Structure 1
Amino acid sequence: HCFPVGAEIGGVMESLEVVVVGAGCLGAFIGGCLALKGHRVTFLVKSTGNGRKLSQAVEKLGYLRLDLGKAGERQVAKSQLSFSTSPSCLGPASLVLVATKRTANGQVARMLAGHIADPAVVVVALQNGLDAHRDLVPDLPQNPVFQCVVNMNVVSNMEEALFTRTSPIATLFLDQAVAEHLPTLPAALRAAGFSTSLLAASDFTERQRGKFVQNLANAVNALHGLSIPEMLLSAAAVRLLAAAGREGLAVLRARGQRVRPSITHALPFLLDLLATPVVNGILLLLLWCVAKLLGKAQVSHLVDRRPHSSMWEDLHYGRCTEIDYLNGLVEDMGRQCGVATPVNSAITRKIKEAETARGSFQPLSEQDLRQLLATSTADANLTEVPDRVRI
């Protein structure tokens, strides 16, 4: 597809000055796509870790690579983007995309507050969980701050400066108020290849809750260890997913909070159906037949072994996870409103144990996953729901 450089407003091309805070999969991919369409993009990164790896790879290769699936690969020349370790690069920004881990929001907010002088600069958090943007608001009272719900999976190879979108579509949801502050942003995102929807505030919040329930799967994928498609072929992992999602929905329902899309309510049932011996057996038999008839290479086209959750990457590389903002939050909200959440509590404990392994965590076996679910639900039957407490 051919798109114009920048966003067209009244026949005039306008380029955004974008600073992406962080150089993880989503931030690098979205920033790269914007740079490909002519927007000036700077990645504000640390001098260590992924930021350093990516900047060195781009300098060496001369470009950043974007694999868009069926649309093919694109290369973003290094002249089209820049890297900085100094927050002074925030000075000319019109848009700041926060793509760091949620756990760093306090530090990020203070940094932004110290270097964003223009109250018109729009800040958008590309982060998991509920109300991530609210972490930033107290330090940026003059700036419009939003969260973006991102429905997309991206995997990276930092050494090759390669970012691959493994989901068939890339969908972004934003509060429609963002267009009042930066009218060119929706068109710029669409031109960069993202299906972008602007929603009323209440609709956006409901969509955010739906993504929150889906993201409860991140921790299960991290514990399971294999790719997301492979995880969905594991009956034990799928049953654990269903139980975690059912608890999350029960907590939100008890709090009187609606969820979109409506299909989210059916996810636990669909997952339980997927985990039944008949359905699971049919899927495995079909894959076995494909492997026998067409070869194992064809199976890899059906079961992509690349996509993992971001939490799996965190455990793999010995980083802290966002568990407290996902399954841990379900546990906290359940305690507050009197809803038992034994499965999410058990998952949270397991992830915290895995964090202490510092990158040497061993994935759980099928038996381990079955035992985790059985033990947590058995414990729930023996324990009364605690009285309502404040989070």
Structure 2
Amino acid sequence: MHVAVIGIGAMGCLFGARLSQVARVTLVGHWPAQLTALRERGLQLILPDGRSQTIHLACTNDPQTAAPADLALILVKSHQTQQAAETAAQLLAPKGVALTLQNGLGNLETLTAVLGQNHANLGITSEGAALLEPGVVRHAGTGHTYVADSAETAVPPQEIVALFQAAGFSTSLSANAHGLVWGKLAINAGINPLTAVLQVPNGFLAENELARRLMQQAAAEVAQVAAAQNIQLPFANAAAQALTVAQATAANHSSMRQDLANGRPTEIGAICGAVVDFGRRLGVATPVNAVLQTAVQQAEQGIWPEAPTPEAILQLLNETIERKGNE
């Protein structure tokens, strides 16, 4: 099988490196520094136990040179999904499939609109990776990957599961993929924006009382929006699950924190923004997600009010949420 990985950040490199052991892999992306590093030195993959591997991967910024691909893994940020879908259209084989493993909502719908229902499928992963510098990726933590059990796609999802398993990824089919997406959304909405605006590791949210409360409130709002659509989450209590994940990943730096610190666009629109949009349509109040969305957007634009400490920022956020809740 030929796999094109669209997206050459941390997650794209992690999946590309592991899959290259069992399939032909081509990384497709447009970041010049990353392409140069991969071509000149290969990918240095730092494993969770600290060992390091150097893996040489084919990479290109020209989708035509990656064609035809049986599977296109979509591992770009959510605001780049439309471009990734158009890239996939150029390189997929006639019976190929694009699989999104992205955060947020709306990615599968974007792929389907461009590629057709038979050529797009949904996946969810809790694998963690961090880009330390161009060409150097740390596998931050092993997780589990789910592939939607869709009988309509050109490549049977069972084949994708078998491929991932052969590459060493813990993977299974899911008949409730949309519930898993909303479950991951609840965790992302709770952890990512707060760690981004506070510039703290995940564990801070578990240790600080106010941060913990806001994290759990944001996750609970997502659960309420999901419940209004009769979507079943993979856990009974979103607030408790957010705390569990923050504790289990205490030393990790969320992708949104890394993006904001490095001046890159975040996925706030596909996370908190999507929750707010769905909540508005369904009549479900989402004041915490709304304030977190605004805070991250202001931080992206460099207009977030300066505060000396994370605790001071938390107080500002809490006051804003309370005002919004009283509107």
TM-score by length of 2: 0.89
Contact residue 6 and residue 28 of structure 2 kept, 8 A = yes
1:210 aligns with 2:189: no
1:341 aligns with 2:286: yes
Question: What is the match of residue 49 of structure 2?
Answer: 70
Question: What is the match of residue 377 of structure 1?
Answer: 322
1:39 aligns with 2:19: no
1:125 aligns with 2:124: no
Which stretches in structure 1 are left out of the alignment for 5+ residues?
Answer: 1-15, 275-282, 284-301, 384-391
**Aligned residue identity for 2:212:** V
For residue 185 of structure 1, report the CA deviation from its aligned partner.
Answer: 2.2
CA distance in 2, matches of 1:363, 1:165: 32
Contact residue 151 and residue 171 of structure 1 kept, 8 A = yes
**Aligned residue identity for 1:175:** A
Q: Which structure: larger Rg?
A: 1
For residue 235 of structure 1, report the CA deviation from its aligned partner.
Answer: 2.7
Q: Deviations 1:238-257 (Å, cap 9, x if unpaired)?
A: 22101111211122222332
Question: What is the match of residue 296 of structure 1?
Answer: none
Q: Deviations 1:120-167 (Å, cap 9, x if unpaired)?
A: 1111112111341111111112742112101122111233x2221222
Q: Given the superposition, is the C-alpha separation of residues 321 and 222 from structure 1 closer, same or farther in structure 2, using an over 3 Å criterion?
A: same
Question: What is the match of residue 21 of structure 1?
Answer: 6
Question: What is the match of residue 8 of structure 1?
Answer: none
**Aligned residue identity for 1:338:** G
Q: Given the superposition, is the C-alpha separation of residues 136 and 180 from structure 1 closer, same or farther in structure 2, using an over 3 Å criterion?
A: closer
1:312-327 to 2 correspondences below 5 Å = 312-327=257-272
**Aligned residue identity for 1:171:** H
CA distance in 2, matches of 1:58, 1:358: 36
Please point out which of 195, 216, 222 is paired with 2:170. Answer: 195
CA distance in 2, matches of 1:362, 1:68: 36
Please point out which of 99, 122, 134 is paired with 1:147. Answer: 122
CA distance in 2, matches of 1:153, 1:326: 18
Q: Deviations 1:65-98 (Å, cap 9, x if unpaired)?
A: 222213833321x2xx211111102322111111
CA distance in 2, matches of 1:86, 1:40: 17
Question: What is the match of residue 173 of structure 1?
Answer: 146
Q: Deviations 1:11-36 (Å, cap 9, x if unpaired)?
A: xxxxx21111111111111111111x
CA distance in 1, matches of 2:303, 2:33: 20
Q: Given the superposition, is the C-alpha separation of residues 71 and 223 from structure 1 closer, same or farther in structure 2, using an over 3 Å criterion?
A: closer
**Aligned residue identity for 2:286:** T
Please point out which of 6, 15, 23 is paired with 1:30. Answer: 15
Please point out which of 218, 225, 243 is paired with 2:217. Answer: 243
**Aligned residue identity for 1:366:** E
Task: Count how many residue pairs are aligned between Structure 1 and Structure 2.
Answer: 323
Q: Deviations 1:269-311 (Å, cap 9, x if unpaired)?
A: x57xx9xxxxxxxx9xxxxxxxxxxxxxxxxxx9964x21111
Q: Percent identity?
A: 28
For residue 343 of structure 1, report the CA deviation from its aligned partner.
Answer: 1.1
TM-score by length of 1: 0.75
**Aligned residue identity for 1:31:** G
For residue 263 of structure 1, report the CA deviation from its aligned partner.
Answer: 4.6
Q: Deviations 1:151-201 (Å, cap 9, x if unpaired)?
A: 122111233x2221222x22101112378724532122112221101012x
For residue 214 of structure 1, report the CA deviation from its aligned partner.
Answer: 0.7
Contact residue 149 and residue 173 of structure 2 kept, 8 A = yes
Contact residue 207 and residue 261 of structure 1 kept, 8 A = no
CA distance in 2, matches of 1:96, 1:329: 25
Q: Given the superposition, is the C-alpha separation of residues 173 and 21 from structure 1 closer, same or farther in structure 2, using an over 3 Å criterion?
A: same
Contact residue 21 and residue 100 of structure 1 kept, 8 A = yes
